[in-house]
Structure 1
Amino acid sequence: MNTPMAMGGSGRLETVTNPRDGENRPAILLAGASVRWAAQSLRRGMPNSRVIGLDWFGDSDTRMVCDQFHPFRVGEESQENLSQQIESVANLHAARVIRVGGLQVSGGGNSWRQWNRLQAIVREIAAASDFGEFPVATPLTYQCSAGRCRLAGSNCDDVSAADLIAETSGRGIRWLWKQANSTGGMGIRSVPTSTESILESSDGWLQQRITGRSYGLVAIASANQTRMLGLTVGLHQRFGDRPFVYSGSRGPVSQIGDAGVSEVPWRHLQTLSEQVAKSFSLRGLFNLDFIRDASGRWCLLELNARPSASCEVIERWATDTGWMGPDDSLMRMHLEAIDGGDPATRLNWLSETTDWSSSSTRSQWIKRIVFAGQEGIVDVSTIRKRLRAESITIELADLPPERTRIATGEPILTLLFRVDDRAKKMASAQLRRAIRIVQGELLP
């Protein structure tokens, strides 16, 4: 995995072609921060399609699976410019556009309005439930612009962000600043003692920081029904004042801690998924992000109305366990749902009859992005040799071209690792060792 800054850019539309037969096949343009998993999934499930990739990284395995690939042009990161680049590439190939996770472009809707609607859905379900049994809530959130804030979903008067932070500091409330139209945790910052950065920012949120574990619920919506596909644990890494930079996923989760599957409120999460899909007229894959606090309350943080990075661990698990056929894929189901089909009829692993105690359902996949602790040049072949020498069986993905220079804090590549429930400690030790090998093999 390489970063946009390391890719260079001439301002011209760069094209990388991977020759295949049948240029008259239907073209599908996958546009996102990184489209590697989506392209692989689409290639497996729809082998007769022509896959066009457009992302920031241009990793070698992404280019290999795509029929043609274009990198986003560096220095043109605004939403308007990204939309124009997507339109230009789509017109070039007469391609259908499918957006995948980690990319915000213009025309995606008002993010404040989306949050207010999510908050209203949670409140409506809670009000209709018996004895307040609905375990999902939303954190205290203020919508902010130019240093002025208003309680989300209310008609209250604006208040100064500085005054709000000063007033609540004595009550033990900690705040996060969430920049509008950011993804992957890059726009989430811990609120410093000084609020100067917030006062100078444009649009965003002040949101109460909830202590707990991060989860992502992957679901798919069709015209007739909405199905949960799996719950994953979100992995994050701190970079300075950014405490929640996305670094991977682990899943699917069948139990929380040692208390058993009954602690996962599947029925309530299903109700929430259905109402969100209905309210937003969703079709295809989507993701709901949560924090589960120490009391067992699930705080809804965000809706990602597109295939997300955590879909990969769900798909790999479903293929391993036989719940999904070898020629099927989540991206194929995503397109079928968008086109009015009902692929969810083939997905029944999250039903009341699922045996979560079986060895197959209790296995997991880990997707772990490895970041550079220091600047250096990536040598993938050397990394592979070191892993083999230490008998670590792990898959490498999001591979940068050979001899790519990586800056400190940038992603190097991604590790994909299957974990058997009976050997979790050994798997964790191997994963930690693999991370150290990848970080330690950067050449000066």
Structure 2
Amino acid sequence: MQAIAVAAISARAMAEAAASDGFKVIALDLFGDVDTRRAASRWLPIGAPGSLHIESESVLAALHTLAREGEGGEPVLGWIAGSGFEGEPELLEEGAAVLPLIGTAPAAVRRLRDPAAFFGFLAAHVIPFPQVMLQPPEDPAGWLMKDAHGCGGWHVRHAPWSMDEPPSSHHYFQREMPGLPMSATFIANGRDVHVLGFNEQTVRRFGTRPFVFCGAVGPVPVAEDMARRVTAIARTLTAEFELRGLCSLDFMRDGDAIGVLEVNPRPPASMSLYRMPAGSPGVMQAHLRACLDGELPPPVPSHAQEVEGIEIVFAQQPLQLDAAAAQRLAAWPGIRDLPEAGQRFDIDDPLCTLTASGSNAQQVRARLNEGRERLLQSLETKA
């Protein structure tokens, strides 16, 4: 059994997918949730849960340990970087020198997260995107400030912007575009792509943060022309930036118009919405084949799949999870990222993730919303 490491702010989805594909998994993340540890043969912490920030020293120490010791007497094939590494190309480079990185190269990640390079490429190739400025606009009305090194939408601000220091080279300003936030989940081999499907994203306001990522629903149907356009954009970006493995393309949809927001050059949260057809490799096996062998899943007729959804549940008040509350959560239908008893949460800390399925996106959203409200009410009334 081959051993691989998966690293992210939360590595549970990658760990479960890799274990399901027959790998021995070492998980590196901030939380060490019950189901993450269940899927992995070993868990190594790489940061404090409440920080939502990966500690470089902890990552490198963990990778050195795996490179030196292996796992269960077997060498570790490499490591896969997930959410939280988008703005850390130097860390990716240092980590890749210790243990092979199975994914998009750090140099490509650096270019993707350089606003001038990324949006300059889009403009040169007439790929639609909401207007971008690298300096604060004179009239900030209708503009957003973003951090190209951020993830999860926590970095997005409306005008007027509250900053402790002047904007850095990775901050940029973007016209707010009306419409529905969406994404395309795809597998890339550096030249071409295999699109798994399209998703509707769930974003909500948290205080001064208007667009925090809270989940996704997919696959959802889109018009053939739009699917063709978005796929062509993903293919163009893959060839330019040599994207490899599981990725996602975030965009706004306003009627027939689209506006590209960013590319996530790593396994996205939406990967957990997809099951490969019977007889095909799973999503993590497909990731490795694309990265290591340049092999994409073969084109297949669309297979029947229910619409799936994920919803991150955030704490609405400070709490400490006692044993009784932990047991209630463990028995909750469709729960993932299950915290251990004794864990403390501040307001807006991620508590867990709910999942649901149904025949259409509206039904799935309703089930997720109902589940979230019932779960939070349960914790409030029985805390």
**TM-score class normalised by the smaller sequence:** 0.7 to 0.9
The answer to whether the 8 A contact 2:314-2:349 is kept is: yes
Q: Does 1:348 align with 2:300?
A: yes
- Relative distance call for 1:396 and 1:265 in structure 2 (3 A) is same
Amino acid of the residue matched to residue 298 of structure 1?
Answer: I
C-alpha separation between the residues in 1 aligned to 2:89 and 2:128? 29
1:154 matched residue in structure 2: none
> What is the root-mean-square deviation of aligned Cα atoms in Å?
2.7
Equivalent of 1:375, from 301, 315, 318? 318
Q: Deviation string for 1:351-399 (max 9, x for gaps)?
A: xxx59xxxx35x30011111121222342422466x6xxxxxx411000
Match of 1:408 in 2: 347
- Asked if 1:284 corresponds to 2:232, the answer is no
Q: CA deviation at 1:111?
A: 5.2
Selected match of 1:339 from 281, 292, 301 = 292
Deviations 1:206-226 (A, max 9, x none): 111112110011111126632
After superposition, give the CA deviation of every residue in 1:164-187 in whole Å (9 maximum; x if it has no partner): 3xx335xxx412111241111111
Residue of structure 2 equivalent to 1:44: 20
The answer for unaligned runs of 5 or more in structure 2 is 71-75, 91-105
One-letter amino acid of the counterpart of residue 268, structure 1? R
Q: Is the 8 A contact 2:309 2:365 kept in 1?
A: no
5 Å matches for 1:44-193?
Answer: 44-45=20-21, 47=22, 49-74=23-48, 77=53, 80-81=56-57, 84-94=60-70, 95=76, 96-104=78-86, 105-107=88-90, 108-109=106-107, 110=110, 114-126=114-126, 137-143=128-134, 149=135, 161=136, 164=137, 167-169=138-140, 173-192=141-160
Q: 2: CA distance between counterparts of 1:424 and 1:200?
A: 42
Stretches of structure 1 that go unaligned for 5 or more consecutive residues are 1-24, 127-135, 144-148, 150-160, 256-260, 388-393
Aligned match of 2:233: 272
Moved more, 280-289 or 199-208: 199-208
How many percent identity over aligned positions? 25
Name the CA distance, whole Å, in 1 between partners of 2:278 and 2:117.
33
| Contact 2:25–2:41, Cα closer than 8 Å, also in 1 | yes
- Pairing partner for 2:11 from 10, 15, 35: 35
Query: Which residue of the partner structure matches residue 14 of structure 1?
Result: none
- Deviation (angstroms), 1:244: 1.3
**SS of corresponding position for 2:297:** helix
CA distance in 2, matches of 1:211, 1:76: 29
- The residue number in structure 1 matching 2:95 is none
Deviation at 1:92, TM superposition (A): 4.4
Query: Partner amino acid for 2:192?
Result: Q
Q: Distance in 2 between matches of 1:211 and 1:223?
A: 32
Structure 1 equivalent of residue 271 of structure 2: 311
| 1:282-301: CA deviation from partner (whole Å, max 9, x where unpaired) | 221111100112x5311100
Structure 1 equivalent of residue 283 of structure 2? 330
Determine which structure has more spread, i.e. the larger CA radius of gyration: 1
Partner-residue secondary structure (3-state), 1:310: helix
Deviation per residue, 1:59-109 (Å, 9 max, x gap): 110011101001114389477536534533443444311112333324244
- Contact 1:142/1:205 (8 A) holds in 2: yes
Distance 1:412-1:223 versus aligned 2 partners, 3 A rule: closer
Contact 1:138-1:301 at 8 Å conserved across structures: yes
The whole-number CA distance in structure 2 between the counterparts of 1:221 and 1:211 is 29
Which whole-Å CA distance do the structure 2 matches of 1:115 and 1:190 have between them?
A: 18
Do the aligned partners of residues 296 and 82 (structure 1) sit closer, same or farther apart at CA in structure 2, a change above 3 Å counting? Answer: farther
Which one-letter code corresponds to 2:327 in the other structure? S
* TM-score using structure 2 length: 0.82
C-alpha distance in structure 1 between counterparts of 2:190 and 2:348, whole Å: 42
State how far apart, in whole Å, the 2-side matches of 1:139 and 1:100 are: 26
Matched residue of 2:269: which SS? coil
Alignment of 1:173-322 (within 5 A): 173-192=141-160, 195=161, 197=163, 200-203=166-169, 204-222=171-189, 225-255=192-222, 261-262=223-224, 265-293=226-254, 295-315=255-275, 318=276
8 Å contact kept, 1:248–1:369: yes
1:417 aligned to which of 340, 356, 366: 356
Matched, 1:26 2:2: yes
Query: CA–CA distance in 1 between the matches of 2:177 and 2:65?
Result: 41
One-letter identity of the residue aligned with 2:139:
T
Deviation for aligned residue 1:428? 4.6
